[in-house]
Amino acid sequence: METKRYQIAILGATGAVGTRILEQLMQSTIPIAGIKLLASKKSIGKRITYQSKQYIVEEATPEAFEKVDIVLASAGGEVSKKMVPEAIKRGAVVIDNSSYWRMNDQVPLVVPEVNGSVLATHRGLIANPNCSTIQMTVALAPIQKAYGLKQVIVSTYQAASGAGQAAVDELLQQTTAYLKHETMHAERLPVKNDQQHYPLAFNLLPQIDVFESDDYTHEEYKMIRETKKILCGDSTSTEIKVTGTAVRVPVVIGHGEAIYFEVVDAQADPQKIRTTLSTAQGVRVIDEPKNQRYPQPLLAEGHRETFVGRIRRDLENARHFHMWVVSDNLLKGAAWNTVQIAEQLVAKNLVTVPENSLF
């Protein structure tokens, strides 16, 4: 029998995540028939080279999705809102990186090694979670399974690339200005279309995405709701309490997270948790305090794994622990998780828009 080969479109192909989706796709196990790079009008004709092969960017029109099997979308919420239905109507299964569809009950929100089984329920669309949520759930899911999980309190240390390549460029320009004792200009961070902008270079911005109700940012809500949806199957679940603070730090790639968590099982201890995580898919434990070995963004860059270290017990609460989690936010936090979902869809023969299609 001939191997089925897939026609794949990357929507938002010119962005920091889009270019990495192409890279990850070329390194994946997916049998590829062809790749289409789609973006907005202003990028038409742009050439993207990967391993000496040139791809020419086409305009993302509804018709561009004809004969496409899988769409890997990373073009922001507004584009996804409009284009995802067009692609599904034309028979393509979509994996979407934007936050627009994530909270829809009919859309599985998937981290393959955590809840890959829900892929079977898809109705044409699978949502890729928020970057900081993905790495947190990769580290927490094996703990939840082994010891039960009651509560999570997270402080994030998020890289500029989470806000796109323009934010990285701005950070580097500010850094250059700072070193020359010149004025730093800010137009992108913390949030491109928000009112105030502040320099990130040699600074900390305790705002990621816009503010919502109860003075939480949208990023903080994403981490609360998405973590519940992924770990408990419901974004409003009360099974695990989740709260936290999201902070942007002057790092280019690699989000850090100081995660404090409470387990159910009184028998859990740091060494057991280390062992549990060491055998978990997608996790690499780097936790040797005596040799000063622990996860760092510069060491995580370019890797697909989620790195975990600094596993310790709260000295005054026996079932409460700390861990320090780092991952490449553009790979596991975005491009790789998207391609990994596509790999699983292919492996499970789920690349078909079903009868009960969303659109």
By CB under 8 A, name the binding residues for its own copies. Answer: 153, 155, 157, 172, 175-176, 179, 190, 194-196, 198-199, 202-207, 211, 214-216, 224, 238, 241-245, 247, 249-252, 254, 256, 258, 260, 270, 287, 289-298, 309-317, 320, 322, 324, 326
332 is in an annotated binding site: no
Measured CA to CA, the distance from residue 19 to residue 13 in angstroms comes to 6
Residue nearer to its own copies on the CB measure, 99 or 174: 174
Tell me the closest approach of the beta carbon of residue 246 to its own copies, in angstroms: 9
Count Cβ atoms below 10 Å from residue 49 Cβ, excluding itself: 9
Helix (H, G, I), strand (E, B) or coil at 257: strand
43 is in an annotated binding site: yes
| Distance set, CA 342 to CA 69, 158, 159, 163, 338 (Å) | 10, 26, 26, 24, 6
Query: Catalytic residue among 131, 197, 218, 232, which?
Result: 131
Contact present, 306 and 138 (Cβ < 8 Å) = yes
Tell me the closest approach of the beta carbon of residue 169 to its own copies, in angstroms: 12
Tell me the closest approach of the beta carbon of residue 287 to its own copies, in angstroms: 8
Residue nearer to its own copies on the CB measure, 296 or 357: 296
Measured CA to CA, the distance from residue 193 to residue 47 in angstroms comes to 28
Measured CA to CA, the distance from residue 101 to residue 79 in angstroms comes to 12
Residue nearer to its own copies on the CB measure, 32 or 249: 249
312 is in an annotated binding site: no
Question: Residue 240 contacts by C-beta under 8 Å, 6 or more apart in sequence?
Answer: 144, 149, 150, 151, 152, 227, 228, 231, 232
Residue nearer to its own copies on the CB measure, 58 or 269: 269
20 is in an annotated binding site: no
Residue nearer to its own copies on the CB measure, 90 or 150: 150
Residue 322 is among the residues annotated as catalytic for this protein: no
16 is in an annotated binding site: yes
Residue type, 295: P
Residue 255 is among the residues annotated as catalytic for this protein: yes
248 is in an annotated binding site: yes
Q: Which residues pair with 246 in a beta bridge?
A: 156
Tell me the closest approach of the beta carbon of residue 118 to its own copies, in angstroms: 24
Residue nearer to its own copies on the CB measure, 120 or 318: 318
5 is in an annotated binding site: no
Tell me the closest approach of the beta carbon of residue 264 to its own copies, in angstroms: 16
Sheet holding 241-248, edge to edge: 241-248, 149-158, 255-263, 317-327, 306-314, 283-285
Measured CA to CA, the distance from residue 331 to residue 329 in angstroms comes to 6
- Among residues 292, 305, 295, the alpha carbon closest in space to that of 333 is found at 305
In DSSP notation, 145-197 reads: HHH-EEEEEEEEEE-GGGG-HHHHHHHHHHHHHHHTTPPPP-SSSS-TTSS--
Phi, psi at 288, each rounded to 5°: -130, 80
| Exposed e or buried b per residue across 280-305, where buried means at least 16 C-beta atoms within 10 angstroms of its C-beta | bebbbbbbeeeeeebbbbeebbebbb
333 is in an annotated binding site: no
Tell me the closest approach of the beta carbon of residue 191 to its own copies, in angstroms: 8
Query: Catalytic residue among 122, 218, 255, 303, which?
Result: 255
Output the known binding site for substrate.
158, 248
Output the known binding site.
14-17, 42-43, 102, 158, 161-162, 248, 329
What positions carry a catalytic annotation? 131, 255
Output the known binding site for NADP(+).
14-17, 42-43, 161-162, 329
